[in-house]
Chains A and B, each alone.
Chain A
Amino acid sequence: DGGITQSPKYLFRKEGQNVTLSCEQNLNHDAMYWYRQDPGQGLRLIYYSQIVNDFQKGDIAEGYSVSREKKESFPLTVTSAQKNPTAFYLCASSMWGGDLEQYFGPGTRLTVT
């Protein structure tokens, strides 16, 4: 059963703490993406990776970091430098970088207080 998994579904953290969101895919896709969605808004690109050991900043990368050590995994760390970290985070993958046919995970809702 192929797809993308994100964990956990809900995450609560205190302000000032770093937190890492997990994203795993078994679709054998080369490209992976992280998006942020705020209430009533569209998705904004945080980081993307077209291939293992390579990643690029998206439109709102400040306060976030990623790694791509394995093709299947693309974890996102929300650092204490991110001013407004509370949001819905979505991970996606596609066969190639920039392919608009993307497959999304179920998302992680992060709440920072």
Chain B
Amino acid sequence: LAKTTQPISMDSYEGQEVNITCSHNNIATNDYITWYQQFPSQGPRFIIQGYKTKVTNEVASLFIPADRKSSTLSLPRVSLSDTAVYYCLVGGPPSNFGNEKLTFGTGTRLTIIP
């Protein structure tokens, strides 16, 4: 599993767009990029996954540049309920799973300010 680096924390005001960047310099050709959201005392929730360019769903967008060495999770018009920890994971498709270990880093603690 490729090592990832994220900011430890971020603050933003309600109604703004928030962008959280994740660095993954050692990403492999077959690796996908996946983001999770976790509220206190709850299990993480899958947000979005992508391989290249841009992916958008009803919750967020994921931007991946051509070199794929980083990715940016974009949350449009955040509200107080978006206050959570966000994790970036990078890893291969199911067929490559063998001795890979799934480890969530400490993530980015996003605080939304009223």
Residues of chain A having any CB pair with chain B under 8 Å: 4, 33, 35, 40-45, 48, 50, 58-59, 88, 90, 92, 95-107, 109
Contact = CB atoms under 8 A, between A and B. Distances in A.
A35 B101 CA distance: 11
A45 B107 contact: no
A42 to B, nearest CB: 4
B97 A98 contact: yes
Contact of B45 (A59, A104, A107): A104
Nearest to B97: A98
Contacts of B105: 42
Interface stretch (B13-21, B36-44, B53-61, B68-76): B36-44
Interface in B76-114: 87, 89, 91-94, 96-98, 100-107
A40 B46 contact: no
7 contacts: A4-B43, A42-B106, A95-B94, A100-B32, A100-B49, A105-B43, A109-B41
B23 interface: no
B12 interface: no
A99 B94 contact: yes
A92 B32 CA distance: 19
Contacts of A92: 43
Given A42-B87, A42-B107, A100-B32, A48 B43 contact: no
A45 B103 contact: yes
Contacts of A59: 101, 103
Contacts of B49: 100-101
B101 A101 contact: no
Interface centre among B98, B100, B101 (most CB of A within 10 A): B101
B55 to A, nearest CB: 13
Given A99-B94, A100-B32, A101-B49, A45 B41 contact: no
